[in-house]
Amino acid sequence: MTLRLTNTLTRKTEIFQSLLPKKVSIYCCGVTVYDHCHLGHARSYIAWDVLRRYLIWLGYEVTFVQNFTDIDDKILDRAAKENCSMSEISERNIKAFHEDMNVLGILPPDRMPRATKCLDGIRALIEELVTCGAAYSIDGDVYFSVTKHANYGKLSGRQLEQQQLNADGRVTDAEKEKKQSLFDFALWKGAKQGEPSFPSPWGEGRPGWHIECSAMVREELGETIDIHLGGADLIFPHHENEIAQSEVATGKDLARYWLHNGMVNVSGQKMSKSLGNFTTIKELLKQGISPMTLRLFVLQAHYRKPIDFTDEALKAAAKGWEGLNAALSLGVLHSTELGITKQSSLNEIAIHTTKEIHSLELSQLQKNFVEAMNDDLNTSGALAVLFELARPLRSLANRFKREGTKKINLSKTADLRSRWQLLVQLAHVLGLKSEKSQTFSQIGESFVMEEKIKAAIASRKKAKSTGDYTKADKIRDELKAIGVELIDKPGGKTDWIRI
């Protein structure tokens, strides 16, 4: 039984072999810190958290590095809009990022470099590329010459001729004029008036987006790493360009395995700000969705496939989680009855329980779990094992609730204890842990509530458009009376918060 992963680079599912025995180096492209994290980030970072947890469970020593892009046009735009500095925007969103990841139970990366703090490594890498003739400077900008990388396009499978001009959406007309080839991309951008800038051999300026990851990988993990992670939207041009820069500079492969997660759709449509179906993690949790429900929802799909975020799917995940949570909570609530002495340290059970299995059934279930996870992280198969383990525990939890603990003959306590411990341990691999949760009906209510609020906002908008401000105000007051405050945003959109 060996772990197999689908490598975007080779387009094959391959047996995973680490460069060094029992050690794995992982780099994951992080967020550009101009706003709060959304569902797409939740999906991506939950998936990679599970990969990391599983490798640790298999006995690997994992080093996980994830960056923060804290120099970017979007951050500058936001800073200009809010009349504050780029670093104020970055700091605020980095704090929010940590809050979100913590709530979702995502293990913090071992190191989180930031572009503004890695400028020496970035400048050194650009200099090497200029020296070897793979990059050229012009009027304070430095560009990478894509024709200098013989295998450019090997990750995305795109040939230069097929590529779209301006594909990364971050290239201005002025930049296009300076470039030797239209496909060349900026490694360093000369300073513009009023923008923060940093010194360099090519003048004041700031690094391009792609170069920061290449520099950080080398600085934090070395020239060749085991696994490089990111969303499928990063394959081109970001990861293609990372490969070109790094491999021209070092002459070595940047990463042995490239893994990409699928995107998130909302009710069948691509999630985007312009479509108005853009949900941040904070908004979602505010609506009463529990973090573990969200995790379960994400893990029901394979990480490479797109997932469709609908109210129905989320309700189904909430129901599934309710059952699993009842089983996971059993040992916490009834530790004495189950003969669990170390229940104070749930994490200890999850991590250190010996893999000694008492029954054939449990042994088979653990085997099924491992087989599913080894199959390119088939988390839905792994969840099926968790549900199977949970079933008798859940019935017992229900009986405890109905009949009280005294009446129940616990002749099979040892079996149930092993079962519960195995469940906790395997759930921990998927990052799932017992939660003092709302019940399904409460979550159901929050959905109904949300639908009602949405409908009320729509009627208020209609009333306003016909000049019926009395009715519009009445709707606002009615909502306020039930603890919902409306916030009118520029452009006619109305948001709401609980007060």
Give the tokens for residue 35. Answer: 């706003």
Pick 29 or 307: Cβ nearer Zn ion: 29
Which ranges constitute the DSSP H helices of 225-310? 240-250, 281-286, 291-299
Pick 234 or 383: Cβ nearer Zn ion: 234
Four-residue CA torsion sign, 119, 137, 170, 222:
negative
Count, residues near Zn ion per rule CB under 5 A: 2
Residue 166: CB minimum distance to Zn ion, A: 19
Query: Are the CB atoms for 142 and 186 separated by under 8 Å?
Result: yes
**Binders of Zn ion in range 348-377 (CB under 5 A):** none
User: 494 Cβ partners below 8 Å, 6+ apart?
Assistant: 457, 460, 461, 486, 487, 488
Write the binding mask 161 to 200 for Zn ion: x where contact by CB under 5 A, - elsewhere.
Answer: ----------------------------------------
Residue 216: CB minimum distance to Zn ion, A: 8
243-255 CB burial, b ≥16 within 10 A, e <16: bbbbbbbbeeebb
Residue 218: CB minimum distance to Zn ion, A: 13
Q: How many CB atoms lie within 10 A of CB 498?
A: 12
Is residue 51 within the footprint of Zn ion (CB under 5 A)?
A: no
Pick 8 or 379: Cβ nearer Zn ion: 8
Pick 29 or 55: Cβ nearer Zn ion: 29
Residues belonging to the chain: 499
Residue 8: CB minimum distance to Zn ion, A: 14
Pick 9 or 29: Cβ nearer Zn ion: 29
**Binders of Zn ion in range 254-283 (CB under 5 A):** none
Write the binding mask 208 to 237 for Zn ion: x where contact by CB under 5 A, - elsewhere.
Answer: -----x------------------------
**Binders of Zn ion in range 14-33 (CB under 5 A):** 29
Residue 80: CB minimum distance to Zn ion, A: 25
Pick 105 or 207: Cβ nearer Zn ion: 207
Pick 208 or 262: Cβ nearer Zn ion: 208
Range 281-285 contact pairs with CB under 8 angstroms and sequence separation of 24 or more: 281/36, 281/37, 281/38, 281/39, 281/41, 281/42, 281/100, 281/103, 281/104, 282/36, 282/96, 282/100, 284/39, 284/42, 285/103
Cα separation, 145 vs 133, in Å, equals 8
Mark the segment that binds Zn ion (CB under 5 A) among 205-213, 368-376, 406-414, 455-463.
205-213
Return the SS3 of 120. Answer: helix
Cα separation, 484 vs 499, in Å, equals 6
Q: Give the binding site for Zn ion (CB under 5 A).
A: 29, 213
